[in-house]
Amino acid sequence: MSQSSFISKEIVANKLSDTEKINKIADDILSYSRNALIVDMRFLSSAFCKLKPKKSDMLSFATDGEFLYYNPMYIISRYKQSKELRTRDFLHAVMHCLFCHMYADNAVNWAIWNLACDISVENVISELRQQSTTTGLESLRQQTYAELGNKVSRLTAEKIYAYYINNRPTDERLKELRDIFKSDDHLLWFLKTGNDSGAMQEEGETCENETDNRATGASTERSAYEKSEAERVKREWRNISERVEKDLQSFSKSKSDGADFLMQNLTELHREKYDYAEFLKQFSSYGEAMKVDDDSFDYVFYTYGLKLYDKMPLIEPLEYKEVKRIKEFVIAIDTSRSVSGKTVQAFLQKTYNILKQKENFFTKFVMHIIQCDTDIREDVKITSEEEFDKYIGKMQLKGFGGTDFRPVFDYVDRLIARKEFVNLKGLIYFTDGRGIFPARPPKYKTAFVFVDDALDEISIPIWAMRVVLPQENIR
């Protein structure tokens, strides 16, 4: 007799009246699912053991990163359909935690983010190809993976989300995709980020979990303690995912089991994210600017003079203050065949939008924008915001040969020798990384900026900084 048949007979015998026995059956099913997964994927054992099961009358199956909430009757019904289905559901919830999907920024479109996370997780599970998680929905899901694979470089939640934001499916298609990929309830994600159910609504779309929210009486107003606990759980999952990634690196060398997709998601999670505006401030230097120095100015004497001498101050406010801004700077652009012209222009526009802000540049500055493939193709000197505006408006890429980074550094050294720069703080080089690097470090800070589609295995010199910008952030 199969285990599923046994469960059905036991439920019938007790006429679903014995709550303790029903709960025991549900607990056994979850334990069975977890143990089956541990046997198949030992490198994920720490993740499988992290979630603590917790019964819920209101939630069918959900997680907040610390607990795995489940309705016993729902667990039993899913198991009766297929024991593989229940095991896959368990793995699905764990994957969300492993990739920290519930900690998305509040500004995301939650309906699209939900779907992107579910598709990404299901793709990883499918590629792992474990017998314990194989269900009858694979063929339908494969069609979606194939469609997205032609449009998206990697099927991570972030990439899928960016694609659907820019190519919004119809409401009918969204519902169809949700039905195919949904495995768990994401209500607790919104509570964790401080969102109410309205955050999940868009363009008249009702929140599918609105009833659950009212029923549980859950409040989106979180105390300082709750926020602290949420951060603690998030850190714990990041630590787990980092250990899994390290274990998986050695595990995958000996087994070809579809773990590449899992690695892609972990790499996306652990890749250092930069605030590009903050990053550019590293290239600033101190200098004087026309600004009242509030730190040095004595307002007591100033106001006393106004009172004593009929609006005649004893001292005048200082006109200059020492501030830290960008004064000398180089932007180098890789114009080889392998670099997309549209991406280059988008990057330069983003950089320009940041640098043109008055708190970033001195009134007088020197910036060179250099285009290079294997040779210097163009050098444009910019000394004012007006010149910057004019250049952006008429810029054309030149070159399209191979890639050699050395000519730029040699050229900048010559500019320094000619006193074009007095105190050059830095150079940023926008590239795909496929080129020849200088053997020796320059005397100024250098950063190589990549879009996230650049190959992760590209090594840069130890003296340079690597900056990876999400493709969607430079459009």
DSSP string, 303-337: HHHHHHTTS--SSPPPSEEEEEEEEEEEEEEE-ST
Terminal alpha carbon distance of the chain: 59
Q: DSSP per residue over 110-147, as a string? A: HHHHHHHHHHHHHHHHHHHT-GGG--TTHHHHHHHHHH
The pLDDT, as a whole number, for residue 7 is 53
Dihedral Cα 202, 206, 211, 213, nearest 10 deg:
0
Q: Helix, strand or coil for residue 404?
A: strand
Mean pLDDT across the chain:
77
Q: Which of 68-77, 358-367, 399-408 has the lowest mean pLDDT?
A: 358-367
Top-confidence residue, 220 or 118 = 118
Q: Is it the case that residue 285 has pLDDT exceeding 80?
A: no
Residues 241, 269 contacting (CB under 8 angstroms)? yes
The pLDDT, as a whole number, for residue 88 is 92
Binning pLDDT at 50, 70 and 90, where does residue 219 land?
very low
Percent above pLDDT 90 for the chain: 24
Q: Is it the case that residue 197 has pLDDT exceeding 50?
A: no
Residue 423 phi/psi, 5-degree rounding, is: -150, 65
The pLDDT, as a whole number, for residue 347 is 82
CA-based nearest residue to 196, from 177, 179, 212: 212
- CA distances from residue 350 to 325, 355, 392, 469 in whole angstroms, order as listed: 18, 9, 11, 11
DSSP 431: -
In angstroms, rounded to a whole number, what is the distance separating the alpha carbons of residues 276 and 256? 37
Dihedral Cα 23, 28, 29, 33, nearest 10 deg:
140
Q: Is it the case that residue 134 has pLDDT exceeding 50?
A: yes
Top-confidence residue, 214 or 335 = 335
Top-confidence residue, 406 or 283 = 406
Its pTM surpasses 0.95 = no
Top-confidence residue, 183 or 104 = 183
The pLDDT, as a whole number, for residue 204 is 36
Residues 452, 470 contacting (CB under 8 angstroms)? yes
CA-based nearest residue to 41, from 243, 250, 184, 251: 251
Top-confidence residue, 80 or 320 = 80
In angstroms, rounded to a whole number, what is the distance separating the alpha carbons of residues 399 and 52? 58
Class of 277-291+324-474 per CATH?
alpha beta
Taking only the tens place, the pLDDT of each residue in 64-92 is 899 999 999 999 998 888 888 889 999 99
Bridge-based pairing state of the strands 426-430 and 445-451:
parallel
Q: Is it the case that residue 230 has pLDDT exceeding 50?
A: yes
Binning pLDDT at 50, 70 and 90, where does residue 215 land?
very low
**197-205 long-range Cβ contacts below 8 angstroms, 24+ apart:** 199/106, 199/110, 200/110, 200/111, 200/114, 201/111, 202/109, 202/110, 202/111, 205/111, 205/171
Question: Looking at this protein, which amino acid is placed at residue 370?
Answer: I
Q: Which of 88-92, 295-299, 432-436 has the lowest mean pLDDT?
A: 295-299
In angstroms, rounded to a whole number, what is the distance separating the alpha carbons of residues 100 and 97? 5
Q: Which two tokens stand for residue 228?
A: 């602290």
The pLDDT, as a whole number, for residue 286 is 46
- How many other C-beta atoms can be found within 10 angstroms of the C-beta atom of residue 237? 23
Domain residue extents for the chain: 3-270, 277-291+324-474
- How many other C-beta atoms can be found within 10 angstroms of the C-beta atom of residue 70? 26
Three-point CA angle 286, 314, 304, nearest 5°:
110
The pLDDT, as a whole number, for residue 308 is 59
Top-confidence residue, 209 or 233 = 233
Three-point CA angle 307, 312, 315, nearest 5°:
100
Residues 124, 80 contacting (CB under 8 angstroms)? no
In angstroms, rounded to a whole number, what is the distance separating the alpha carbons of residues 261 and 367? 42
Taking only the tens place, the pLDDT of each residue in 246-262 is 777 666 544 445 677 78
Q: Is it the case that residue 222 has pLDDT exceeding 60?
A: no
CA-based nearest residue to 191, from 55, 48, 67: 67
Q: Helix, strand or coil for residue 18?
A: coil
The listed range with the strongest mean pLDDT (4-13, 58-67, 226-235) is 58-67
Strand partners, 325: 285
Q: Quick one: how far is CA 279 from the chain centroid?
A: 17
In angstroms, rounded to a whole number, what is the distance separating the alpha carbons of residues 422 and 204? 58
Q: Helix, strand or coil for residue 219?
A: coil
The pLDDT, as a whole number, for residue 357 is 64
Binning pLDDT at 50, 70 and 90, where does residue 441 land?
very high
Residue 100 phi/psi, 5-degree rounding, is: 55, 40
Binning pLDDT at 50, 70 and 90, where does residue 103 land?
confident
Residues 449, 431 contacting (CB under 8 angstroms)? yes
Helices 171-181 and 110-128: crossing angle in degrees, nearest 10, is 40
In angstroms, rounded to a whole number, what is the distance separating the alpha carbons of residues 183 and 114? 11
Q: Which two tokens stand for residue 101?
A: 């999907």
In angstroms, rounded to a whole number, what is the distance separating the alpha carbons of residues 463 and 450? 16
In angstroms, rounded to a whole number, what is the distance separating the alpha carbons of residues 141 and 120? 11
